[in-house]
Amino acid sequence: MVRSYPMQVSDEAIMTTRVQSLAQSGLSRVPPQYIQPPQTRPVRHTAPEPDSIPVIDLSSFDPTQRASTRDSIARACREWGAFHVTNHGVPPSLLASLRRAGLSFFSDTPIPDKLRYSCSAAASEGYGSKMLATTTSDQNDAVQVLDWRDYFDHHTLPLSRRNPNRWPEFPADYRELVATYSDEMKILAQKLLALISESLGLRASCIEDAVGEFYQNITISYYPPCPEPDLTLGLQSHSDMGAITLLIQDDVGGLQVLKGGNKWVTVQPLSDAILVLLADQTEIITNGKYRSCEHRAITNPDRARLSVATFHDPAKTVKISPASELINDSSLAKYRDVVYGDYVSSWYTKGPGGKRNIDALLLDP
């Protein structure tokens, strides 16, 4: 998943156009700006998929099972860059309550009331839509292809960024739920990064030390029913910019991850599990031993879908480089050092597009 950012459209369009409004208008065809080029349109499969995302039982971080848990995580990080975790220590009731509150905001709140929380062209926090765009070429003319989704982005960590007054006040427990969820996700992210570090033979704090203080955003994404799901994407193919993303979704499904560079695999929803997605800075720190997960979201013709992604990123002043413990004469550095703020700026300029942003940092062999 990815946080949203402003693209070059008018403030009026940003403030008023929402995918949910389009879906509710009864249109039978999607507007042309949402139509993907043929090479990126989803291909529907009716047969069961033989591959599935690994599920790792953390057993509430039982120390007697830590070695086997590390081995499972290492295999999942090498082969997928993603895995589900169960028995992760976050109360299932909190996951369910946050999904309920997020769905209530999108489903039960009138559009004019939602627009009170609209994000501006200068900041991503708030209620928005069509902020993530890929520029393609159509007979030498630039064409921006938009995602079929609305979202609410919350700035949650460090605490100096957290201002619940910018979040919905309905349902009544919305703000408290987001704050509690933020704190739980930080703890889980720290524990997971420790296990990921140890799975490479590194000290437990290695990746977290390299990342520094978490800059955390929580994005609740709402994907309305789409009349032409074969032509659109709810979220275009990309890998996340930061260190680690933790995601929950409802029972509709639609998230897909790329396996082996050429096969899209649908992530089957697990109500009490949390999906872990490795992001680009972890790929750099691990010197490519673990690759960030390329993923996308497809749309559904009949049902709306909701997901909650929690991003954990470095501060923009932090320089990211491969861990020195992984570099030697027989294992040279594969990535250039990068200041995270420069990486973010480059990502914004280029847009998503698979893993092209992280691949641009690869050193020549």
pLDDT at res. 144: 78
Reply yes or no on whether the pLDDT at 113 is more than 50. Answer: yes
Least confident of 117-121, 280-284, 320-324: 117-121
DSSP single-letter state for residue 341: H
Query: What pLDDT was estimated at residue 131?
Result: 54
Each residue of 118-156: pLDDT tens digit? 987 656 899 998 655 565 555 445 567 899 999 999 999
CA 141/CA 134 separation, integer angstroms: 13
The string of DSSP letters for 12-31 reads HHHHH--HHHHHHTT-SS--
Arithmetic mean of pLDDT, 45-50:
66
* Segment 234-243 mean pLDDT: 96
**Does 334 or 365 have the greater pLDDT score?**
334
Q: Is the pLDDT of residue 8 over 50?
A: no
Tell me the mean pLDDT in the region 82-108. Answer: 97
Judged against a pLDDT cut of 90, whether residue 111 lies above it is answered with: no
Q: Which of residues 1 and 157 earns the better pLDDT score?
A: 157
Write the DSSP string, 104-162: HHHHHS-HHHHHTTB--TT---EEEES--EEEEEETTEEEEEE-S-EEEEEEEESGGG-
β 82-86/55-57 pair status? parallel
Q: Can you give the pLDDT at residue 143? A: 66
> In the predicted model, is pLDDT for residue 172 greater than 70?
yes
The pLDDT of residue 5 is 37
Across the range 338-353, mean pLDDT stands at 90
User: In this structure, what are the phi and psi dihedrals at residue 258, rounded to the nearest 5 degrees?
Assistant: -90, 120
What mean pLDDT is reported for the chain? 91
Instruction: Check pLDDT > 90 for residue 304.
Output: yes
- Stretch 342-360: mean pLDDT: 89
Question: What burial class does residue 349 get, using C-beta atoms within 10 Å of its C-beta: 0-12 exposed, 13-18 middle, 19+ buried?
Answer: exposed
Confidence of residue 158 (pLDDT cuts 50, 70, 90): very high
- Domains present along the chain, CATH in parentheses: 53-360 (2.60.120.330)
